[in-house]
């Protein structure tokens, strides 16, 4: 009876994103083959995977860098949008990559087809409207050394 109860509870998608910088205080954004805008490095949390583990896995898969530590910045509850279902989006900080790590960035060429480091204001122009809201709040959380809870980017 208890197992059935848990099977019938609502399910929510979870996603992760990460703010990664270079030593010029520029943030890394990536271009995927399936979106018409740029994004943070990140993706979907797999079944039985923690958001932190998913973040580190996505960094490795998307840019070929094996970051040992990521710092939690924000969680954003997103209501249903275009029949995609509601979700929770976790944003982390991946810190500052040194020149050697940046030289070692390797894209898979299938999912992620390009990357660049840009100033914060330029990133806002290139990200989707939904992503830019959470991006701004997460960036503020990083600057203030706090974590924030968001609902639909606010």
Evaluate whether 45 touches 54 at the Cβ level (below 8 Å): yes
How many CB atoms within 10 Å of residue 6? 7
SS3 content of the chain, % helix, strand, coil (to 5): 30, 35, 35
In a domain, 77, yes or no: yes
Residue spans of the chain under pLDDT 50: none
pLDDT of residue 113: 96
Give the total number of structural domains in the chain.
Answer: 1
Instruction: Please check whether residue 11 lies inside any domain of the structure.
Output: no
Q: The domain containing residue 35 runs over which residues?
A: 20-151
Residue 50 lies in a domain: yes
CATH of the domain at 28: 3.90.79.10
User: Does the residue 115 lie in any domain?
Assistant: yes
Give the C-alpha distances (Å, rounded to integers) separating 44 from 17, 63, 72.
9, 16, 16
Please report whether residue 101 resides in a domain: yes
pLDDT tens for residues 57-100?
Answer: 999 999 999 998 999 999 999 988 777 789 999 999 999 999 99
Task: Specify the pLDDT at position 124.
Answer: 93
Q: What is the pLDDT of residue 1?
A: 65
Whose structure tokens read 């503020």? 140
With 0-12 / 13-18 / 19 or more C-beta atoms within 10 angstroms meaning exposed / middle / buried, residue 41 is buried
Token readout for 136 is 């701004």
Tell me the whole-structure pTM to 2 decimals: 0.92
- Do 30 and 114 contact (CB within 8 A), yes or no? yes
Determine, yes or no, domain membership for 114. Answer: yes
């Amino acid at each position: 009876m208890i197992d059935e109860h848990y099977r019938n509870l609502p399910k929510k998608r979870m996603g992760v994103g990460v703010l990664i910088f270079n030593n010029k205080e520029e943030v890394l954004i990536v271009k995927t083959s399936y979106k018409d805008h740029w994004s943070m490095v990140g993706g979907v949390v797999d079944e039985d995977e923690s958001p932190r583990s998913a973040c580190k896995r996505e960094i490795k898969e998307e840019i070929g860098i094996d970051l040992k530590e990521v710092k939690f910045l924000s969680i954003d509850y997103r209501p249903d949008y275009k029949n995609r279902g509601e979700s929770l989006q976790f944003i982390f900080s991946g810190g500052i990559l040194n020149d050697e790590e940046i030289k070692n960035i390797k894209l898979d060429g299938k999912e992620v087809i390009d990357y660049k480091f840009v100033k914060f204001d330029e990133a806002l122009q290139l990200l989707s409207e939904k992503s830019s809201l959470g991006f701004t709040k997460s960036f503020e959380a990083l600057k203030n050394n706090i974590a924030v809870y968001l609902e639909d980017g606010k």
